Amino acid sequence: MRIPEFAYLRIVWILTGIWVCAPAHAEEPGFGEVLSAVVGVRAQIPEDARTAEALGTERVGSGIVIDENGLVVTIGYLILEATSVEILLPNDVTTPGRIVAYDHDTGFGLVRARTALGVHAMSLGNSQKLAESDQVLVASFGGVETVRPAKVASRRVFAGYWEYLLDNAIFTAPAHPVFGGAALLDSDGSLLGVGSLAVSDAIPGHYMPGNMFVPIERFLPIMGDLLAHGRSTGKRRPWLGVYSEEVSGRVFVRRVADGGPAAAAGVESGDVILTVSDKPIRSMEDFYRNVWALGDAGVAVPITILKDSGPTRVTLKSVDRYQWLKLGHQR
């Protein structure tokens, strides 16, 4: 049976101790208007895209409207290498969008609607003060029935296998099933983070299913760059094309990117990364930070890998990941 909105919000209030329905001031948006800013995002990706095999050629998730002109922030992998994007609204309404930006360093993506959306923009909150055990709400596209109460399980560094490192990532539990681009909300209905992943270790060292969110504070300093240039204009980090996995203090190569620097240097699946520039590697975080410390994209990266035949030293000619991706149709 469909639960009326007021009754559902009261259940959320009871579960979380947060009253999110009544605004502090009459002119502020109510919770229904806040949720209307959580829209759907659907992107089409060509079959020859670099990310098509891993992420698919049709990607669907959520996004959050953050200005009155239809600017939508989402998780970047939904729109990466896309040739077209649509914004989904209630009652099966769709409107075309334009890809504005993709930023690998943070993971954010931006899309702008080509027509008016008619929804109230969500305000951006302050996730820097968000701490373990704080209560939050997670909402994906689909209205009030998608809202789930959660708690912050941990704040910590997240190292992704795709040469991605995020400081002070937000991990929540229990897990929300529709996490890609979902909104992490505080009790005022302000945006604290954007959903990225499902994880099994929301608390490090323990089995606890949950989600990882990219903190909104990582977005604000680069927002101007994203709007003007389609990506942040900071340091171009060296990229090697290594998809890695950390096991018991060792970093294993899961696979290498076709046409990437690692493949060109003979790095293979099953190799173990022992050193970068003679510095021991004991974690994926070690691996990335030591590579990035060598300089900008294009720098030579000397590494020692353990193969079946024994330790082997190779030098990789790093590149800018954006040059490897097929982004000709995007900004």
Question: What is the per-residue DSSP string for 63-89?
Answer: EEE-STT-EEEEEGGGTTT-SEEEEEE
Mean pLDDT of the chain: 91
pLDDT value of position 86: 98
pLDDT value of position 328: 66
- pLDDT reading at 41 higher than 50: yes
**Taking CA 181 as the corner, what is the angle to CA 178 and CA 182, rounded to the nearest 5 degrees?**
55
Q: Which alpha helices (DSSP H) does 103-257 contain, by range? A: 223-229
Class of domain 242-324: mainly beta
Confidence bin at 195 (pLDDT 50/70/90): very high
Confidence bin at 28 (pLDDT 50/70/90): very low
Give, for 44, the enclosing helix (H) or strand (E): strand 38-44
pLDDT value of position 221: 94
Find the mean pLDDT for residues 147-167: 97
pLDDT value of position 32: 80
Confidence bin at 160 (pLDDT 50/70/90): very high
Tokens 């912050």 found at: 152
pLDDT value of position 7: 43
In this predicted model, what pLDDT tens digit does every residue of 100-134 receive, in sequence order?
999 999 999 999 999 999 999 999 999 998 999 99
Q: How far is CA 319 from CA 50, 268, 326, 330, in A?
A: 15, 18, 14, 19
1-234 and 242-324 share one fold: no
CB 106 within 8 A of CB 218: yes
Q: Thinking of the domain 1-234, which architecture would CATH place it in?
A: Beta Barrel (2.40)
- Burial of 120 per CB tally in 10 Å (0-12, 13-18, 19+): middle
Tokens 């891993």 found at: 54
pLDDT value of position 234: 85
- pLDDT reading at 144 higher than 70: yes
State which amino acid sits at residue 249. G
* CA atoms of 93 and 99, how far apart (whole Å): 19
In this predicted model, what pLDDT tens digit does every residue of 283-310 receive, in sequence order?
999 999 999 999 999 999 999 999 998 9
Nearest to 105 by CA among 190, 17, 225: 225
Domain ranges of the chain: 1-234, 242-324
Confidence bin at 10 (pLDDT 50/70/90): very low
DSSP at 258: T
Find the mean pLDDT for residues 46-54: 95
pLDDT value of position 235: 87
State which amino acid sits at residue 35. L
* CA atoms of 112 and 235, how far apart (whole Å): 26
- pLDDT reading at 5 higher than 70: no
**Taking CA 133 as the corner, what is the angle to CA 282 and CA 140, rounded to the nearest 5 degrees?**
90
Provide the CB-side half-sphere exposure for 54 (13 A, CA). 14
CB 323 within 8 A of CB 298: no
- pLDDT reading at 1 higher than 70: no
Find the mean pLDDT for residues 238-263: 97
- pLDDT reading at 8 higher than 80: no
Confidence bin at 215 (pLDDT 50/70/90): very high
Find the mean pLDDT for residues 45-74: 97
pLDDT value of position 231: 92
Confidence bin at 243 (pLDDT 50/70/90): very high
Largest CA distance in the chain: 71
Provide the CB-side half-sphere exposure for 1 (13 A, CA). 4
Nearest to 224 by CA among 130, 63, 103, 65: 103
Nearest to 111 by CA among 88, 135, 134, 141: 88
* CA atoms of 36 and 117, how far apart (whole Å): 10
pLDDT value of position 12: 53
Confidence bin at 20 (pLDDT 50/70/90): very low
Confidence bin at 24 (pLDDT 50/70/90): very low
- pLDDT reading at 22 higher than 50: no
